[in-house]
Amino acid sequence: MSGMIKKALTNADNYMGKQTKEFVPDIPISGVGISAQHCLITYEEASNQTTIHPNAEDPEKYSIKVNGV
């Protein structure tokens, strides 16, 4: 995937991934190689910290990049 995603995060867990019948992510994205729960973005408003967690099932298959890295 290439491009930019701009989304206001909620204070807590924000899932990014492909929408399915069983799961609707907070940040829907689509494309080849995207899983339903592609990654989890945790935002803590009190400390203003964001943590990105890769896919728990297969992080090698469903890799993530931030600013190309």
Q: What angle do CA 26, 39, 20 make, to 5 degrees?
A: 55
**Over the stretch 39-51, which tens digit does the pLDDT of each residue have?**
999 999 999 999 9
Q: 69 falls in which pLDDT band (50, 70, 90)? A: confident
In order, the DSSP letters of 3-63 are S----PPPSEEEEEE---SS---SEE--STT--TT-EEEEEETTTTEEEEEE-SS-TTTS-
Q: Where do we find the tokens 């995937």?
A: 1
Q: Which tokens go with 30?
A: 């689509």
pTM of the model: 0.83
Residues facing residue 21 across a β-bridge: none
Residues in the chain: 69
